Chains A and B, each alone.
Chain A
Amino acid sequence: MNHPKENHLDPLRVLAMIHAMIEESIYHTETFAYTLNVHHNDKAAKVFHLICEQFKAEQGIVLNGTLNVDLPTIPPWEEPYTEYIHPSSVLIHANYLMSESEAWKLMHEMVEIHKRFYTFLCKENSVNTLFSVVDQLVNYCNDCGEKNKRLEAKAETNRSKSSEDIDIIALHSNEGGLW
Chain B
Amino acid sequence: MRDMTQETLTAKDYLSDIRPIWCPGCGHFFILRALAQAFAWLKLPKEQIGLISGIGCSSRIPAYINAYGFHGVHGRALALGTGLKAVRPDMHVIVAGGDGDGYSIGGNHFIHACRRNMDMTYIVMDNEVYGMTKGQPSPTTEPDWESKFAPHGTGIRTFNPLGVALASGASFIARGFAGDPNGLTKLIVEAIEHKGFSLVEIKSPCVTFRPEEKEWSKTMRKMNVVPTDDVVEAARKIHSSDGLDTGIFYQATLPVFEPHSTKGKTVLDFEKEFEV
A residues adjacent to B (C-beta < 8 A):
1, 3, 24, 27-28, 31-32, 34-36, 38-39, 41, 44, 75-79, 86, 88-89, 91-96, 98, 174-179
Chain B residues contacting A175 (CB-CB under 8 Å) are: 211-212, 214
Q: Which of B22, B181, B189, B207 is A88 in contact with, Cβ under 8 Å?
A: B181
Q: Say if the beta carbon of B12 comes within 8 Å of chain A.
A: yes
Q: B147 to A86, Cβ gap below 8 A?
A: no
Q: Is B110 an interface residue (CB 8 A)?
A: no
Query: B19: which A residues are within 8 A, CB to CB?
Result: 31, 34-35
Given contacts A3-B222, A89-B181, A175-B214, contact A95 B23 (CB under 8 A): yes
C-alpha gap A36/B21 in the complex (Å):
8
The reply to whether A176 and B29 form a contact with Cβ atoms under 8 Å apart is no
Indicate whether A179 sits within 8 Å of B180 (C-beta atoms), given known contacts A1-B248, A38-B21, A95-B211. Answer: no
State in angstroms the CA–CA spacing of A98 and B211 once bound together: 13
Q: How far is the CA of A26 from the CA of B181 in the complex (A)?
A: 15
| Contact among A77, A96, A174, A179 for B23, CB-based, below 8 A | A96
The answer on a CB contact under 8 Å between B33 and A39 is no
The 4 A-B residue pairs with the shortest CB-CB distance in the complex, in nearest-first order: A177-B211, A77-B186, A94-B25, A3-B223
| Cα of A86 to Cα of B180 in the assembled complex, Å | 8
Q: Could you say which of A78, A88, A178 contacts B208, with CB atoms under 8 Å apart?
A: A178
Interface membership of B81, Cβ < 8 A: no
The residue from A27, A77, A92 contacting B179, defined by CB atoms under 8 A apart = A92
Inter-chain contact A92/B27, CB cutoff 8 Å: yes
Which residues of B pack against A, CB within 8 Å? 11-12, 19-25, 27, 29-30, 33-34, 37-38, 40-41, 135, 147-148, 178-183, 185-186, 189-190, 205, 207-212, 214, 217, 222-223, 225-227, 247-248
In the complex, A46 Cα to B94 Cα: how many Å?
Answer: 35
Chain A residues, CB < 8 A from B207: 92, 94-95, 176
State A141–B158 Cα separation when bound (angstroms): 46
Task: Give chain B residues whose Cβ lies under 8 Å from the Cβ of A91.
Answer: 24-25, 29-30
In the assembled complex, the Cα of A41 lies from the Cα of B25 at a distance in Å of 13
Compute how far the CA of A34 lies from the CA of B208 in the bound complex, rounded to whole angstroms: 18
Complex CA gap A94/B21 in Å reads 14
Instruction: Decide if B180 touches A177 in the complex (CB within 8 Å).
Output: no
Q: Measured between C-beta atoms, what is the minimum distance from B227 to chain A in Å?
A: 6
A-B contact count (CB 8 A): 117
Point out the residue from B11, B24, B29, B208 that lies within 8 Å of A76, measured CB to CB. Answer: B11
Q: Residue of B at shortest CB range from A91?
A: B25
A92/B186 contact (C-beta < 8 A), A39-B23, A179-B147 known? no
CB within 8 A of A176: which of B33, B38, B211?
B211
Given the complex of chains A and B, what is the CA–CA distance between A174 and B190 in angstroms?
A: 39
Question: Which residue of B38, B212, B217 is within 8 Å of A177 (Cβ)?
Answer: B212
The answer to whether A76 and B38 touch (CB under 8 A), given A31-B20, A178-B208, is yes
Minimal beta-carbon separation of B58 from chain A (angstroms): 15
Contacts of A179 in B (CB 8 A): 135, 147-148, 209
* B21 x A27 contact (CB < 8 A): no
Of all chain B residues, which has the CB nearest A38? B21
Tell me the smallest distance from the CB of B99 to a CB of chain A, in Å: 18
Across the two chains, which residue of chain A brings its CB closest to B215? A175
Chain B residues in 8 Å Cβ range of A38: 21
